Amino acid sequence: MTIFTVRNILNANFTLNRKGKLYFRYGTMGSAKTALLLTTAYNFEERGMRYLCMKPVIDTRDNRNVIKSRIGIERECIYIYPETDLYQYAKEYFKTINAVVDWFLVDEAQFLTASQVDQLSRVVDDFGSNVICYGLRTDFKTNLFEGSKRLFEIADTIDEIKSTCTCGHKTIVNARIDENGDILTEGAQVEIGGDERYIAVCRKCWRNKRIEQSTRHSLPFPELLAEIEKDC
């Protein structure tokens, strides 16, 4: 009978019978992605399963290494830095605890680099761990984030966490807004913020709001100008 020691597991020539998967669970802001991650972690803890919560350090809303949901629950996590090699980190962590982690739960996975997503896939393939990445699909301009793009390309399982726009349609766009509630279309791809900076809307509402804003301060149509001149 094969003994699954850390020494054997970290041996490149050792083949595991464990079968892990790389998951990507995405949704717009406010779709309860983080709450789902935290309840999943709680369930693993109750069942005595080994897990590790992580998130990119760029998410500085809480000023400390926690994953926190809008509903108020939170849990400590490991920061992922831009230079972090997640495959090497996993190997060292396994040595530290003398065991293999069953589940990695990664919040704000859109901020991972493509290389880091590849490193997580190696953790799945080489060690049989499961990795669940939670994150956004696109930015406020509807362009894919680097980490999300790579997850769409190589994840074993992709699930959408759906939420509803105020009009009743499914939310698709993470619209960035200013202090007046107007939708912004220019700016850096990454700007950390919550409800004061972003609203999740459907594609139709996103388009209509931008059209409304663009015509709000435009000149009247020619026929209206003629009426104004006539009155003068």
Catalytic sites, residue numbers: 108
SS3 175: strand
Residue 159 to residues 110, 147, 155, Cα–Cα distance (Å) = 14, 15, 10
- DSSP lists the bridge partners of residue 69 as none
What whole-number distance in Å separates Cα of residue 99 and Cα of residue 192?
A: 35
DSSP 8-state secondary structure symbol assigned to residue 171: P
Contact call for residues 136 and 145 (beta carbons, < 8 A): yes
What whole-number distance in Å separates Cα of residue 145 and Cα of residue 38?
A: 23
What whole-number distance in Å separates Cα of residue 27 and Cα of residue 161?
A: 5
Phi, psi of 81 (to 5 degrees): -90, 160
Element spanning 51, H or E: strand 51-56
Burial of residue 47, with CB atoms counted within 10 A of its CB: 0-12 exposed, 13-18 middle, 19 or more buried: exposed
What tokens appear for 200 in the block? Answer: 């999740």
What whole-number distance in Å separates Cα of residue 116 and Cα of residue 135?
A: 14
